[in-house]
Structure 1
């Protein structure tokens, strides 16, 4: 079943008549509350300290307040700020503003004064309801109304509801959320969105008359709407906490027990602290959790203590919670379930197309709960509140959440963290949420947050009680599932995480804590000799590490193939010693590399066959590199394949600057085969080649077959096979070139539209290279004074390719890995020229990236997984 089918068959397309799903949908919040007050006038609705409020008292007081507010000029369309301490009067005022037809702006008095004043100004609030305690504190144009005056004046007003014409499209509240620009932005939520959410919550997770709901969340956090309003339309009871109790988990635990709380909603951070606060025994509690990712460990702990656990998801912009899932102990993957009624969730790519189930994309939310957009932010609204192409309702919008997710379990949504938690370190794009999720599964870790710091990743860890610290083991386990650049190099142990007023982990405060890095896993051993100091300094410059110790691992410090090339070139330039890049596989520390440099040139290994990852019990795969000759490029692939999968690479002859490169492609293949056979691997080879190396691997397969050897796999990593043009002469050559120009022009035009940046960079580099070649040929400029060993090898290999006559082969089927971003024109973009040569057929595998980036982060992991699947399949056939 496709994602779109799964989402829409479970949730019918939204229509303008929401009564199809909920008979109460088109009735306003104030009507629903008034109805319950008439049904249960003497039932207790609210408890706060020693205050006990009935439905009749609450409703009558709110009606009186609403009529009084009208005399203050608060009517439909007005925006009213509310800055009160938590109390029954706070709820009276909230309901009164709604009953008056106005829009309330919730303001937590404990928030910074400048933030509250900004919100009042940005919303252009006409009035501010506050108390004597805060009178005159907040500077704004809003007319100040004191709650004490309302209490004194309201008894003279009628207790019947004010007659106000309420529309379901009216904005019921404006709630400010953090903004990426540093200034908060106001989200406008409608009556329809709020009522749809509340009625959906009545259905699941459900609320009954006997329930008691703990209200502990500040009104400046949208989930407080569930705690304050859902009981009012269900005939249930609210237990309202003051600020001190809401911040003290021991007091919360005592309140839950003494008051007989049956429903409680909190963030994962608050639930963790509750579990540490003398929580003994099981409670008849329905636990609602959301706001941050729910780990499997936390879910298991809560399920031991509660009757049921519900995982909720939804940004403020789509009205509190948009999806939910009842969590069970046997759930392998923790998801946020499916959308509530009249809400829709889509996982889309950058072109707003649904991605296949299991594929990561961005979460978009549509339906009745989508707000009216941000107040006074038209440009941001165009970016985030966009037309819903999957809806039949005219003008329907969907919200671009910025959250990553995928469809699993036949229609459930798994959240994978924020897109804006994506960071770039040393050129690698990293999803911090993926690192946190993987590290959080490790034994002994209760909670973890990963942050970038000084071009590295630092993991802040809260440990399980009594667990032993084992940074090295954590890193080792992580490397089995994550590439090296995603493995934190530093760990900091904390007793608990700092929290924001909303109960979420305060990442900014965590980063600013400046914890001492002595607790890091890396033990610094300083260089001892001048040579070690020089090498350590070079590593530090390119790896952006202040102090590199002689025991530090190149890859653990974030070393890549590109960085390795830079380091080795500088070592050769400054120290006069040329080393193969492949030496970093074994000489991966400053100490080992310095020892390697002390060997004479004849003792340094320039073997053709390089053990990229020689360990493992599976049959190895052998990969031939292209003209870049950087065998370290295969390190990304090897570390993302199965731990039990050996990987070998071939590096060309002549890299030492002494040996002569191969003259023909056939000789190259023969020498590579000789190096392979010398190691006495089992028959039944898996060969692969990247770019130019694919043709070499193809010739190796032909020669191995001629020797009676069996080739079980032959993979081409974006290799183009056509080279007949090298043998054309005279008129046919020019005719072919002329015929290519128009389709080539169309291709480049199309590429410029879809990938302008990458295409321009490629074309610019292409023309610069061609101009330099032409200028040297015409004598306009001099050739390079010095020619590197790599340049000499490239010249030889290009000449060898031009002389190579490809012959069809039936050695085995060809697995063709084809990139999805093509920056240069090909005559055969479908099979890359291989069809005439693959007598046993071609199987095409599309991979993400262009010719250079598909083997690099972040594409390398998906590529390696696909490659591993094919290796296992081909070698078992």
Structure 2
């Protein structure tokens, strides 16, 4: 009796997976129970077209190919490698293998690198016990010469007649059905064994948690060498008798919006995609001149896995597509591995359950899968919230790797749990991943995870999204790993100034996020990024290429470009300049002879934190005490700072000038930014670096920091002083002004003065401040102001800032400030070069500015404003926008623009968010100024 004859009788639309005894049964049952459903192939640009191959037709085609395999001498147990790119070629061949009891192993071609492709095929041949390679005529012509490789042309197999006695092999549950090669270099990939029992258990569990039925319509665009495409987007819908739509990666990546059009045209209900496509779609939508005609209301599930899911990307995707009927709960971040039959853990509460997080949790496991988190290198299970190695156990987990006992032993604990290699934490049974141990960079004993940096850098203007790779290298003699950032750009090939700006932006973003500089920045063409079919960059391969010298030409070109953009190399002269060059070299971890005497401290890579480190080194190395931060800001090169130090304290005396030039290059209209309520401008230092070679960036600093300076006595005096200073620097408009927090009200008053004098203010920005600040200033007594200053300087936490005012209010002013200094981290005080007298003077100045704010009542009008709003100090963001921030509309003639920016009031320009903020700000400046 054949398996066809022994299968249960037709039962309507009962899910095939509930009756199947092996994976081959899934197709046979689907062909019998839902003969009008099947696989539709959309392989052209026309979204409404596509050939439907019903499940009975797919079964017939697979049986024909099976007959061809038999004719080639292949039988049960013979591994078949499938090198087939088209879905309408791959799927019938895949089912032929399953029907014949032959483990199938999907593969992809490695074009433009014959040597590596040959190495891959040689390795696979040995690993898979000399498989039969089935490919198309087109690909067969491209194959490198590999001795001993047996190749079959799919067209020849398809031409075989089906004999009347062709039987379907009755595979046992423990038999291997699928072999999937792991990513890795050509010589060390492993073959994951997935049995019939693994696959059936996974399909049943997935269908249950996703609520899939035969009425669903699914969409896949991923190639089948990726386990999620084959299992999540093909076997799963087939297991419930659903209709499925398949297209190719190039049709989607070439036009990301085609993904949405296919969903609309075919009323797709479920699909799978990695996070990076969501980002591509977001960008494509933002560039549309008008809305699309789409109805996405049919879609009830997007499973997103294969890489970390950025909360902001997913939320922006949902927001952008809500007008087209997309449900807010449609997106499920997921986690799975080849070893777990793809997705096995789903986050079913996104985005609400991930509010405030950078990366989405991956959620809870399917039925039958257990998760535990253990201490790294041990077996002790950790408590909720503790980070450790994630381990899994269940019927969908592989038994191991083909012909690799060592790898199998390493992958499992003594009690049978699979070691994922991922680090994560459990919170009430909900899993969040911290990073993958093998995708980490260890610098000075600390782990940093590649995907975190890559997601941050992808937000920079000029970076080609999905072409950023952060990976380690270890130069000879180095006692720690060093960070390499490789990226492709969207810049014109001959625009050296823009490329230099981008290099600075990338470097500063890394420094602010991780606290150290990358050792190497590598702008590379897109084709230099080796990727898997899912779009994942193969970082280990890029590392090996770097360390073998493959990128030497690019490294030299970058070094030459930077030297030219800094005005050429000027050697230090004299003892003091030489000493300063040595200090700069120590800060930037380069050789002293690499420091040009005329290069700006900030162009070399200095950040606001480095200013404070420089102050400390000047004291230790040269005995320079009490050098004002302003001296470094206004004399940032070795030569300028040398001249400033030789002039001595007399340089601190003279007329007060509020203008602090943080960045002076670029031909576009300068931007003037007014300080927040603490009076200082260090908050703008990191932001200003993103404007290099684009537009000058000047900050306005309050009066009263330097010896002999008298603080402002009124709001009007402050505004007049700033307006005069701006006109002294730039006599005529158009002007670009902005203010952060308290400074927004000052910038508004300055703009009124300039417009009253007949000048144009084409850009006026408010960074998270409404027009009415008096009520907030009235809340701030001296201790509230001092505590806010301490939080602004990272001396205390946000929680401490909430609790301390009430606790300290009964004390004297001296005792209050002394307590704040006493509880501050000593290392932070050292970085800031801050002691009690200095902090007291700063607190007094900030309190004086708060007092001026208590007298402020906005009046009059300016032409228009751009208001950047973040999470407020209290209340919801929406209430902040609608009830407070929008009140700027009462003070402008023309409509205002309101721009949502990430972060909170005190963090919107901090290390975590400055890259996003600068991108939004620079685009708005271009819109307001340069389009005129």
TM class by smaller structure: 0.5 to 0.7
What does residue 273 of structure 2 align with? 266
Partner of 1:484: 515
Aligned residue for 2:425? 406
How far residue 95 of structure 1 moved from its aligned partner, in angstroms, is 0.9
2:601 corresponds in structure 1 to 552
Q: Distance in 1 between matches of 2:564 and 2:375?
A: 39
Moved more, 69-78 or 250-259: 250-259
Residue 57, structure 1, aligned to residue 63, structure 2: no
SS at 1:167 equivalent: coil
Q: Tell me the residue number matched to 1:366.
A: 393
The residue number in structure 1 matching 2:894 is: none
Distance 2:373 2:564 in 1: 40
In the alignment, what sits opposite 2:23? 29
State the alpha-carbon separation in 2 of the partners of residues 256 and 480 from structure 1: 41
Q: In the alignment, what sits opposite 1:504? A: 535
1:707-726 deviations in Å (ceiling 9; x for gaps): xxxxxxxxxxxxxxxxxxxx
Q: Deviations over 1:473-520 (max 9, x none)?
A: 999997998563379998989999968242325365799687968999
**1:745-776 CA deviation, whole Å, 9 max, x = no partner?**
xxxxxxxxxxxxxxxxxxxxxxxxxxxxxxxx
CA distance in structure 2 between the aligned counterparts of 1:179 and 1:26, rounded to whole angstroms: 34
- 1:411–1:103 Cα change, 3 Å: same
* CA displacement at 1:106 relative to structure 2: 1.0
Who is 2:334 aligned against?
312
1:393-472 matches, within 5 Å, as 396-401=416-421, 403-408=422-427, 410-425=428-443, 429-436=447-454, 449=468, 451=470, 458=485
Distance 1:143 1:483 in 2: 50
Query: Which residue number in structure 1 is paired with residue 246 of structure 2?
Result: 240
SS at match of 1:362: strand
How far did residue 108 of structure 1 move? Answer: 2.2
Question: Which one has a bigger Cα radius of gyration?
Answer: 1
**SS in structure 2 of the partner of residue 326 of structure 1:** coil
- Cα separation, partners in 2 of 1:101 and 1:459, compared to 1, 3 Å: closer
Q: Distance in 1 between matches of 2:385 and 2:309?
A: 19
How far off is 1:579 after superposition?
Answer: 5.7
Q: Deviations over 1:218-255 (max 9, x none)?
A: 22111121222122211112223246535432555554
Instruction: Describe the SS at the equivalent of 2:306.
Output: coil
| CA gap 1:356/1:90 in 2 versus in 1, 3 angstroms | same
- The equivalent of 1:194 in structure 2 is 199
Q: 1:543 aligns with which of 565, 577, 588?
A: 588
Deviation at 1:293, TM superposition (A): 1.4
Residue in 1 that maps onto 2:317: 302
Going from structure 1 to structure 2, the CA distance change for 1:313 and 1:53 (only over 3 Å counts) comes to same
Deviation of 1:102 (Å): 1.7
Say if 1:48 and 1:87, in contact at 8 Å, map to a contact too. no
**What's the secondary structure of 1:270's corresponding residue?**
helix
- 1:833-852 aligned within 5 A: none
Matched residue, 1:144: 151
Counterparts of 1:287 and 1:324, CA distance in 2: 11
Q: Which range is displaced more, 288-297 or 25-34?
A: 25-34
Residue matched to 2:215: 210
Distance 1:433 1:44, change over 3 A: closer
Are positions 1:167 and 2:172 aligned together? yes
2:229 equivalent in structure 1 = 224
In the alignment, the residues of structure 1 paired with residue 630 and residue 75 of structure 2 have an alpha-carbon distance, to the nearest angstrom, of 73
Alpha-carbon distance in structure 1 between the residues aligned to 2:66 and 2:510: 61
**Structure 2: distance between partners of 1:110 and 1:354:** 42
The structural deviation recorded for 1:39 is: 0.9
Structure 2: segments with no counterpart, 5+ residues: 1-15, 44-49, 474-481, 492-497, 653-675, 679-789, 797-811, 827-910, 912-932
1:204 CA displacement: 2.7
1:81 aligned counterpart, secondary structure: strand
Q: Structure 1 pair 400/294, CA: closer, same or farther in 2 (3 Å)?
A: closer
Go from structure 1 to structure 2 and tell me whether the alpha carbon gap of 1:557 and 1:282 turns closer, same or farther (over 3 Å shift).
same
Cα separation, partners in 2 of 1:489 and 1:282, compared to 1, 3 Å = farther
Q: Distance in 2 between matches of 1:46 and 1:491?
A: 42
- Gaps of at least 5 residues in structure 1 are 1-21, 389-395, 605-614, 618-640, 648-676, 692-860, 862-877
Partner secondary structure for residue 121 of structure 1: helix
Partner of 1:356: 383
Is 1:326–2:333 an aligned residue pair?
no
Equivalent position SS for 2:108: coil
Query: 1:380 is matched with which residue?
Result: 407
Provide closer, same or farther for how the CA distance between residues 383 and 519 of structure 1 changes in structure 2, counting only shifts above 3 A.
farther
Quote how far apart the aligned CAs of 1:195 are: 1.7
Q: How many residues align?
A: 596
Q: 170-179 vs 412-421, which deviates more? A: 412-421
Q: CA RMSD in A?
A: 5.4
In 2 relative to 1, CA 477–348 (structure 1 residues): closer, same or farther, beyond 3 Å?
Answer: farther
Tell me if the contact between 1:67 and 1:158 (Cα under 8 Å) persists in the aligned partners.
no
- Separation in structure 2 between the aligned mates of residue 495 and residue 118 of structure 1, nearest angstrom: 27
Cα 1:565–1:120 shift into 2, 3 Å? farther
From the superposition, tell whether residues 646 and 365 of structure 1 become closer, same or farther in structure 2 (CA, over 3 Å): same
CA shift, 1:337, in A, is 0.8
Q: 1:163 to 1:24 in 2, by over 3 A?
A: same
Contact 1:404 1:416 in 2 (8 A): yes
Structure 2 equivalent of residue 798 of structure 1: none
Secondary structure at the residue paired with 1:551?
Answer: coil
Q: Is the 8 A contact 1:302 1:309 kept in 2?
A: no
Change (3 A) 1:487 1:32: same
Task: Map 1:322-721 onto structure 2 (within 5 A).
Answer: 322-330=344-352, 331-332=354-355, 333=357, 334-350=360-376, 351-388=378-415, 396-401=416-421, 403-408=422-427, 410-425=428-443, 429-436=447-454, 449=468, 451=470, 458=485, 482=513, 484-485=515-516, 500-506=531-537, 524=566, 530=573, 531-537=576-582, 539-540=584-585, 543-545=588-590, 546-547=594-595, 551-552=600-601, 556=606, 577-578=622-623, 591=638, 594=642, 598=646, 642-646=791-795, 682=817, 684=819, 687=822
Offset from partner CA, 1:647-701 (integer Å, 9 cap, x none): 8xxxxxxxxxxxxxxxxxxxxxxxxxxxxx998864547647999xxxxxxxxxx
Supply the distance in 1 between the matched residues of 2:309 and 2:520 (Cα, whole angstroms). Answer: 25
8 A Cα contact 1:345 1:363, kept in partner:
yes
Q: Secondary structure at the match of 1:153?
A: coil
Match of 2:123 in 1: 118
**Which string of whole-angstrom CA distances, capped at 9 and with x for unpartnered residues, describes residues 182-234 of structure 1?**
63222222222222222222123233323332232222111121222122211
